[in-house]
Amino acid sequence: MKILLISLLKRGSFIKMISLDRKFYVQNLSKKDKIVKIHDEEKQHLEVLRPSLKDKFWATNGKGLDFLCKIIKMNKKFFEVEVLKVKENKKYPLYLHLFFGVTKRKKWEWLIEKATEMGVLEFTPLITKNNQQYAKGFYKEKKLERFKRKVVAAMKQSRRSFLPKINKPVKFSTLQNHDTKIKNSFVLSFDGIKWKKKDVEKSKKLNLIVGPEGGFTEKEVKILEDKDAKLRNIGIYTLKTETAALKAVSLLTYFKEDF
């Protein structure tokens, strides 16, 4: 088979599909586009697969649309592609926004990668009493760019078509003024009750709030409870905060048809 493929390619009589199990990310693709130029990073990603003229591949714009593209021009600066087909993906049954008490950068990167694979659509680093010392790094523009790259890679890996949003850090004192946001929230806490499927049955959008190592302070928990956040536990053992967050995401997505 391999030999046949190579010989067909050599004769140029065979238009190959680049990597069937990969999806590329081309941010500026929109529904009306017929011809598009691909530059920079995503051009590099394509080049790794050594494409030829007329090769096809799937790309997503990260906003729910997938595009079947055919390469019609290749030069040092860009690839030009023709859009052959557009596919519109259904929105997820749940818009999940994860607030996380960040500590070390590596843990955060690990979490946003895994949670993107699992279907979370928005991330916000949370600065509370117990993790203030870690806040600094998360405000830097360079770091945000790095986080975004992680999330793009995870979206592509899981062949999703919605790129999660990554926000700048939010202080607890700011979050606590957003009454509707808190009301629509689940907070991980040993004092909470067990998750139930019906927790999310009627929700289309919700926030999952996970405290930092060392947890929320009693005062912080009281503020969240007073504003009607719902407390949930995930058992009696002390999971690391990022493990706990991922278990909660696993359950929430499972409850909603494993999107």
Single-letter amino acid, residue 257? E
Long-range contacts of 81-89 (CB under 8 A, 24+ apart): 81/35, 81/36, 81/37, 81/38, 82/34, 82/35, 83/29, 83/33, 83/34, 83/35, 83/36, 84/56, 86/31, 88/64, 89/64, 89/65, 89/161, 89/162
- Verify binding: residue 88, a second copy, rule CB under 8 A: no
What minimum distance in Å lies between the beta carbon of 180 and a second copy?
Answer: 28
8 Å CB contact between 161 and 217? no
According to the binding rule CB under 8 A, does residue 107 interact with a second copy? no
Q: Which stretch binds a second copy (CB under 8 A): 27-35, 53-61, 116-124, 181-189?
A: 116-124
Instruction: Give the whole-angstrom CA distance, residue 98 versus residue 124.
Output: 6
Q: What is the DSSP letter of 176?
A: T
Site string for a second copy, 228-247 (x = CB under 8 A): -----xxxxxxxx--x--xx
- Choose between 71 and 111: whose C-beta lies nearer to a second copy: 111
| Closest by CA position to 228, among listed 212, 246, 242, 207 | 207
Binding residue for a second copy (CB under 8 A) from 97, 114, 143, 181?
114
Touching a second copy, residues 158-187 (CB under 8 A): 158-160
Query: How far is residue 192's CA from residue 194's CA, in Å, rounded to a whole number?
Result: 7
For residue 105, which of 155, 169, 189 has the smallest C-alpha distance? 169
Smallest gap, in angstroms, from Cβ of residue 62 to a second copy? 15
Span of 34-42, 51-59, 114-122, 174-182 interacting with a second copy by CB under 8 A: 114-122
* Per CB under 8 A, 98 contacts a second copy: no
Q: Is 31 in the site for a second copy (CB under 8 A)?
A: no
Shortest reach from residue 97's CB to a second copy, in Å: 19
Decide: is 89 part of the binding site for a second copy (CB under 8 A).
Answer: no
Interacting residues toward a second copy by CB under 8 A: 21, 114, 117-119, 157-160, 194-195, 233-240, 243, 246-247, 250-251, 253-254, 257-259
